[in-house]
Chains A and B, each alone.
Chain A
Amino acid sequence: MRDLAPTLAAMLSSPGWSDVVVLAGAAERLPRLTGSRVLLEVSAHPEQLDGRLLVVLLADDHTDWRIDALISRASAAGAGGLLLAGVEPLGRGAQLLAGRLQLPVLGSEDPLAAHEYLRRVTAEPEVVRSDLVLRAVAALRRADGDLTSVLRTTSDVLERPVTLAGADGGTLAGEPLEAGERTALVAALPRVPVAWAAPYRVDLPTGAVLIAVAVVGVGPVCWLVARLPGVVPAEVAAVPDVLTVVAPAVGERLALRRLELERDARQRTSLLGELLHGEPSEATRRRAVDLGWQLDGWHTGIRIGAEGQVDVAGRRADVVEAFDAEGLRAVVVEQGDGWSAWITAVREPTATEVQEQAAAIRRVQRRLVQTVDAYVGVGRVQPGPSGIATTLAEAGDAAGLARGRAETGRFLHVDRLGLAQLLLAWTRTDTFQPAAQALLAPIKDQPGDLVTTLAVYLDTESSLAETAAVLGIHRNTAAARITKIQHLLGVDLTNPDERLALHLASRTSPTE
């Protein structure tokens, strides 16, 4: 019995006692209520109470002297508290007396209901549990299809806040947890839960309790969390069962939502694939209109790449949200290990507008970095349906470059003038440099600084005279070195493809 006795404070925060108020007595004292006894009216005499709550069904006048006398008798009989009908304030004498005898005096418009609830949680915890579970099952059957509705229904049944939290304690749906609760919850939960694990109970320093049940299904693990402001043992025992019943329903809603996401993503990805392959057909245009894509106008392509394992379909909503937050109306399509997006304008944007837009996209990236390790490339503004493919291709290239360039914040914007710069920049990338070094390796350690000679020769449009002049050597020396280079590398410097490859290679840190 003792184990089931809730503290008065916990009872006062429990759903069955929502209309019970404290009229007098030590609120800081935390007596445990072992049960309750009913008296019809205030002049009746209670038997021995042993920590039970004395409930008085008729108490018209809270300033009556008989209330004082009853407080005295209840205290002498060892009551854990006194609950009177009605919530009118007590007389000063009764308040002082309750304080002096340390007997909490409560009031309720419906003392019988409060009595009944206390009796059930102290004497019949299994009834409380089965009642809650049955009500949850019945309510879920009526609940709407969406996740929010399921959580709200559960919350209504428990009369407690219910949250769907991610593994990091972040709120996915329902009422958000406070920061302190979130930390305590994350500390208590395992990283990788097992579906059959018992529900977790987290006792907070405030006296509140979090009950968490894992929702294991498709996608990352999340937790169904109920928050109980105080420990009513019967309720703490019942809530995990209710959550366990609800968890599969939540899992099902999550799976359905996931299915929808995947279907939409597939649709978008295939349509984009068709757009990227030349002029769109009538059918393609129609499907684009269905999805709300504007094919005409001026497009700015954006490629967002994500490092590591990222749930591209699941996180699309975050990306769209980030664009919305910056006031950009972007079409976002899941593609590979990231997202392709473009922004369409009716007329050609001015240079200033392009710069402003780029700055806004940069802010979008910063928003995303909080959850996704993203690198971003932005293409040039291109007109018409085929422009989407062009600008996205540019954006893709830029993103590839941005990935290795932490110094620019892993963000690159291809503007009109910067293509050559970009190309040059590309030669400094991690992918090109090893290739360049391998290409030039045969002439690297030869006498006569052959690498520099080759670079100058190609820069001066294959003029031996110019090369000799720039390097301050004799023309014959220059000719001999070029011959040696051709020999060592096994290339023909009159072949334009080979010239280009060597020219670029010579631009990677030549002095290295």
Chain B
Amino acid sequence: MGTVIREQDLGALVVGVTLLGSGGGGDTGAFGRMLRRRLGAGELVLRDAGDVTGVSVSPIGVVGATSVLMEKLPGGGEFDAAVRAVSRWTGTEVTGLMSLEAGGLNGLTPLIAALDLGLPVVDADLMGRALPRLDQFSWAVAGRSLTPCALSEPSGQVIVVDNVDAAGLERAVRSFVAHTGGWAVLALAPTPVEAAAADAVQGSLSRALALGRAHAGLEPGATPAAVADGLGGRLLGTGRVEEVARHLIGDGGAAFGRGSVCVVDAGSRAVIRIETENEYLLALVDGTPVVTTPDLLCVLDRRTLQPIAVDAIRSGDEVLVLALPGPAWWRRPDRIIHVGPQAFGLACAPQLLEAS
């Protein structure tokens, strides 16, 4: 069995992957429209990993500066080029696709690629949410090599990278996109679906869809508590954004903009501070850390209930601050060190919601 996606589901799917983005993952709007156009009146099946056999799946997605996507638009052949390059290098035909990252626009890119290439999509990804670095792929954490892999960028350039660890791949990818179009499609080596899914977060796209549907089912003017209940999360506060501070820090070559958002709860006057990089990483209420990665921190517009991304939030916004449970895959001490707050240079033990 799988989950069937039709045109009317796309709105919910887009909101769902945005929520999994935890404030990051790039702008889902453009790929949402692209997907709507490709899908038309047809349908797409998200297949459970257990239901497909004998398929070699390649995790695929977009890497680099996703904000540049709005200016440097896809040419249309990038997915095909990357998949063909990695097939050719490995000698194994890619017969299925899965997502690199379910949160943000990469929750949608494999679906577009699948429609373009006529390949099945497996309902799994390597993060279960949005995360900023390639060494945070579940494959890398589980000890599986990320190489060989192929990158293709909008003007047609393709490179294949092999025999390098996750950090080396990160450097290779960053220097490649920095000197080309700012972003590229990354396709990892085709892997038998059983092995690929074993070290991946399964069901993440259908979770996104379920989250999106729950969001769509919220009544207009729902109370903040009702919103949190409806999405299955915890309300940290409701109020006005008092300050958004952003500053750049150099962090081992990869510079991410570190920042913080300060929200004062309208009812209790509690001070909520959220530390950010590309995603919302850590929330403190009155100075006490309450929720950290890998759980999801979401900031919603209080009126429209639309998720607000880290780079879009402004002082004066009226917002809800929610925490949603992160992917269960990460809840193991040996895994959480790769995605917990320490992985982002925040000296704080992971604070997770009670597993529901």
Contact = CB atoms under 8 A, between A and B. Distances in A.
Query: Do the two shown chains form a genuine complex with each other?
Result: yes
A289 interface: no
B264 A96 contact: yes
Q: Interface SS of chain B: helix, strand, loop or mixed?
A: strand
Nearest to B262: A93
Given A91-B245, A92-B243, A96-B264, A66 B286 contact: no
Given A68-B273, A96-B271, A100-B271, A91 B260 contact: yes
Contacts of A96: 242, 262, 264, 271
Given A43-B347, A91-B243, A93-B243, A69 B284 contact: yes
Contacts of B269: 100
Interface residues of B, number: 21
Given A65-B260, A65-B273, A65-B346, A97 B287 contact: yes
A67 to B, nearest CB: 9
Interface string A22-43: 0000000000000000000001
B287 A69 contact: yes
A72 B275 contact: no
A65 B287 CA distance: 8
B347 A93 contact: no
B289 interface: yes
Contacts of A73: 287
Given A68-B273, A91-B243, A63 B286 contact: no
Given A93-B242, A93-B243, A97-B271, A68 B347 contact: no
Nearest to A91: B245
B288 interface: yes
A71 interface: yes
B316 to A, nearest CB: 12
A75 B287 CA distance: 10
A219 B286 CA distance: 65
Interface in B270-311: 270-271, 273, 275, 282, 284, 286-289
Contacts of A101: 286-287
B286 A92 contact: no
B282 A93 contact: no
Contacts of B264: 96
B260 A72 contact: no
A73 B287 CA distance: 8
A72 B262 contact: no
Contacts of A66: 347
Given A63-B260, A93-B260, A68 B242 contact: no
Contact of B286 (A43, A65, A72): A72
Contacts of B346: 65
Contacts of B243: 91-93
A75 B286 CA distance: 10
Contacts of B247: 63
Contacts of A65: 260, 273, 275, 282, 284, 346
B311 to A, nearest CB: 19
The CB with the most chain B CB atoms within 10 A, among A63, A69, A70, A75, is that of: A69
A96 B347 CA distance: 22
A92 B271 CA distance: 10
Contact of A91 (B262, B282, B348): B262
Contacts of B284: 65, 68-69, 72
Contacts of A100: 269-271, 286
A97 B270 CA distance: 8
B288 A93 contact: no
| Residue of A70, A91, A96 contacting most chain B CB atoms (<10 Å) | A96
Contacts of A97: 271, 273, 286-287
Interface string A91-125: 11100110011000000000000000000000000
Contacts of B348: 69
B289 A69 contact: yes
Contacts of A71: 287
Contacts of A91: 243, 245, 260, 262, 273
A226 B286 CA distance: 44
A100 B346 CA distance: 24
Interface string B254-272: 0000001010100001110
Which of A65, A73, A75, A96 gathers most chain B CB within 10 Å?
A: A65
Nearest to B264: A96
Contact of B245 (A43, A63, A68, A69): A63
B319 to A, nearest CB: 14
Contacts of B245: 63, 91-92
Interface in B326-352: 346-348
A100 B347 CA distance: 24
Contact of B271 (A43, A63, A70, A93): A93
A237 to B, nearest CB: 38
Contacts of B260: 63, 65, 91, 93
Nearest to B259: A63
A161 to B, nearest CB: 41
Contacts of B282: 65
A306 B233 CA distance: 93
A70 B269 CA distance: 19
Contacts of B287: 68-73, 75, 97, 101
A400 to B, nearest CB: 82
A93 B242 CA distance: 8
B262 to A, nearest CB: 4
Most B CB atoms within 10 A — which of A66, A73, A92, A100? A92
Nearest to A65: B275
A68 B285 CA distance: 9
Given A65-B282, A100-B269, A92 B289 contact: no
A135 to B, nearest CB: 42
A317 to B, nearest CB: 62
Given A63-B245, A65-B282, 10 more contacts: A63-B260, A66-B347, A68-B287, A72-B288, A75-B287, A91-B260, A92-B243, A93-B260, A96-B262, A96-B264
11 contacts: A43-B347, A65-B282, A68-B273, A70-B287, A72-B286, A75-B287, A93-B243, A97-B271, A100-B269, A100-B270, A101-B287
Can you list the 8 inter-chain pairs with the closest CB atoms, starting with the nearest?
A72-B287, A92-B243, A93-B262, A93-B273, A97-B271, A68-B287, A96-B271, A65-B275
Interface of B: 242-243, 245, 247, 260, 262, 264, 269-271, 273, 275, 282, 284, 286-289, 346-348
